[in-house]
Amino acid sequence: MDKGASARILIIAGSDSGGGAGIQADIKTVTMLGGHAMTAVTAITAQNTLGVDAVHMVPTHIVIDQIAAVVSDIGVDAVKIGMIGNADTAHAVADSLSELSCPIIFDPVMVATSGAVLADGDTISAFERLMRLATLTTPNVPELKALGGKDALLARRIPLLLKGGHADGEDIVDELHLALGQSVIWSDQRIETRSTHGTGCTLATAIATGLGQGMELVAAIERARLFVRLALLDAPGLGQGHGPMGHQSVREDAMVAGPSLNQVTVGCRDYAASVDFYKALGLNQIVDSPANGYARFEVPNGVTFSIHQSDDCSTSTVVYFESKRLDAWVTELSSQGYVFEHMPQEQSWGWREARLLDPAGNMVCLYSAGENRRYPAWRINS
């Protein structure tokens, strides 16, 4: 089976009736990333963006029966563990997963975004077995404290991704610690939004999906972080409290390794007339920079299109192919004898680009932009 095409991801977690977190967010994440989602529901909650009103725990033997059913027939390429709910279920889940050889991501859900407590002291103590089974445990700041702290966990050789969303500051800093003294750190500007329900569930599930598809751990985390950020930027603004993210609006081209054709720039002589023309076609303008003679538009499937004012329109067309492995891609092409106008360079607009000509003399840009393509800092609010 081609795991990259249809990785089988088993999600062990609680149900969120509001659809923002838990099983519902997990299924959306796996689906948008191209995997096949399977579930073992541990709890049924009555909740919305304002909080959790009621919780009904699924009996432990039913949770285990769900796991056994999918493992015995469909198979599993990766597991994501979320809300467990009680110690008996935590121990039983650990027993049922101990024979699996696939990656396991454990998101130790203890407190919902609303503040509702989802794990008691005995359950937290039972988490030790799940953390020892897991490829990676992904606590936020309060969860890390409840688990005993970073140093204590690393001393027990438990790999951690420490999530910084609950920390203060303008930047979100996430830290991967595979062992004492072995770490990778990511930092990105905080996205100001109240639609943050399910960020932890989504991140852990996206990592599990990447590992199930055969990605290396760091690459899986990087893609998962981008998925979360795009889902936050695409949040529909539902509910009166901490609303759901916009999983359904994250475009596939931002998630694949590449190459993806998702941006074309053409020349124009009359900036205002060209802007009006492409708006009339139904394109949504997201960048307006008449001083630079530059405008960018977006279409509903997430592809972007730009105009750039130039006296010679025929030489202004540039076709853009994006790849997360830009530098390796350029190195491979260079080794085959292709000559670049310039090698990968960081640009002031947030893209990393390399340029070369095709055999007909057309300009081709190979680049990496991530969220900056559709969501530059100067994007027009629409």
How would you write the chain as a 3-class SS string? Answer: CCHHHHCEEEEEEEEECCCCCHHHHHHHHHHHCCCEEEEEEEEEEEEECCEEEEEEECCHHHHHHHHHHHHHHCCCCEEEECCCCCHHHHHHHHHHHCCCCCCEEECCCCECCCCCECCCHHHHHHHHHHHHHCCEECCCHHHHHHCCCHHHHHHCCCCEEECCCCCCCCEEEEEEEEECCEEEEEEEECCCCCCCECHHHHHHHHHHHHHHCCCCHHHHHHHHHHHHHHHHHCCCCCCCCCCECCHHHCCHHHCCCCCEEEEEEEEECCHHHHHHHHHHCCCEEEEEEHHHCEEEEECCCCCEEEEEECCCHHHCCEEEEECCCHHHHHHHHHHCCCCEEEEEEECCCCCEEEEEECCCCCEEEEEECCHHHHCCCCCCCC
Q: What average pLDDT score do residues 50-63 get?
A: 95
The answer to whether position 379 is within a domain reads no
In a domain, 343, yes or no: yes
pLDDT at position 1 is 45
What's the whole-number mean pLDDT along residues 282-295?
Answer: 95
Question: In the predicted model, what is the mean pLDDT of the chain?
Answer: 91
Specify the number of domains making up the chain: 2
Same domain membership, residue 229 and residue 81: yes
* pTM (predicted TM-score): 0.89
What is the tens place of the pLDDT at every residue in 342-373? Answer: 999 999 999 999 999 999 889 999 999 989 99
382 occurs within a structural domain: no
Which of 341 and 167 is assigned the larger pLDDT? 341
pLDDT band at 33 (very low <50, low <70, confident <90, very high): very high
Q: Which residues are catalytic?
A: 163, 196, 198-201
**Which of 224, 250, 276 is a domain's end point?**
250
- What confidence score (pLDDT) does residue 315 get? 73
Is the domain of 58 the same as that of 163? Answer: yes
**Domain match, 208 and 323 both:** no
**Domain match, 303 and 228 both:** no
